[in-house]
Chain A
Amino acid sequence: DIQMTQSPSTLSASVGDRVTITCRASQSISHWLAWYQQKPGKAPKLLIYKASSLESGVPSRFSGSGSGTEFTLTIISLQPDDFATYYCQHYNTYPYTFGQGTKLEIK
C-alpha cells in the first residue's frame, strides 16, 4: 500500500497568515492527490483534486501543487473558518490511503 505522510501534524497560525501543509507519498502517484478539510463532528469536504484543481465553490485562497511524491496545500490570508484538520489522499491505485492529518490551530 502507498503510505501518505503529512507535515506538520499541528500548525498554529493567525488570521491573515499564509500557511503550507506538505504531503509525501511513499511512491509516485503522478498527480492523483486530493486535499480535504474536516471540522469537528463533520464530514470531510473536498478542496483540491488532481493535485492542483480547485473544487467548485472552494475559495481561491486555497491552492495545491506538486506531482510524483511531494505535494503541498497552501492557504493564503487565513480566515477564521479555515481552522480545521486537513487530510491528503492519494487515488492512484487501490487501496486509496489518507495522510494522518494536519490540525490547523489558531495561534
Chain B
Amino acid sequence: EVQLVESGGGLIQPGGSLRLSCAASGFIVSDNYMSWVRQAPGKGLEWVSIIYDGGSTYYADSVEGRFTISRDNSENTLYLQMNSLRAEDTAVYYCVRDFCDSSGYHCAFDIWGQGTMVTVSS
C-alpha cells in the first residue's frame, strides 16, 4: 500500500527548531518529487517546499533560509528541518508525493500523509 506517515510535530518556542519526518511505503521517495504542504488552524493550504528526484530543492518565500527539505534514501524517508520558528509557522504539516506530467514541470499532489501538528508558542 502506498502510504506516507509523518512524525516529529509538537509544541516549540519561538526561535526554536524542529525536524519533521515522513516515512514512505509502497514507493521509492528518491524516484519521485516530494513536497511539504502546511495548513494553519482553520485556514487554507500553503505549499512549503519541494525536493526533486535529482536532489534539487525549492522553497516558499515564507520559509526560505529557515527550512531545509532533505531525504534519506536508505530509510525511504523525507525530512523537513525547521529553524528560527515563528508563531505564523503554526500549522499541520503534510508530506505529499508530487504527481507530475511527462515534462516534470507541472505536478499536482496525489498522495498525502495524515499530517503532523506544529505549534509555535511561548
Residues of A within 8 A of B (CB): 32, 34, 36, 42-46, 49-50, 55, 87, 89, 91-92, 94-101
**Top-7 shortest CB links A-B:** A43-B112, A34-B108, A98-B45, A49-B108, A96-B47, A32-B106, A46-B110
Is residue B113 within 8 Å, beta carbon to beta carbon, of the partner chain?
yes
Residues of B within 8 A of A (CB): 44-47, 50, 58, 60-61, 94, 99, 101, 106-110, 112-115
Do residues A50 and B114 form an inter-chain contact, with CB atoms below 8 A?
A: no
Do residues A95 and B60 form an inter-chain contact, with CB atoms below 8 A?
A: yes
28 contacts between A and B (CB under 8 A): A32-B106, A36-B45, A43-B94, A43-B112, A43-B114, A43-B115, A45-B112, A46-B99, A46-B109, A49-B99, A49-B108, A50-B101, A50-B108, A55-B110, A87-B44, A87-B45, A89-B109, A91-B106, A91-B107, A92-B106, A94-B58, A95-B61, A97-B47, A98-B44, A98-B45, A98-B47, A99-B44, A101-B44
Q: A89 to chain B: closest CB distance in Å?
A: 7
Do residues B112 and A44 form an inter-chain contact, with CB atoms below 8 A?
A: yes
Interface centre among A89, A96, A98, A101 (most CB of B within 10 A): A96
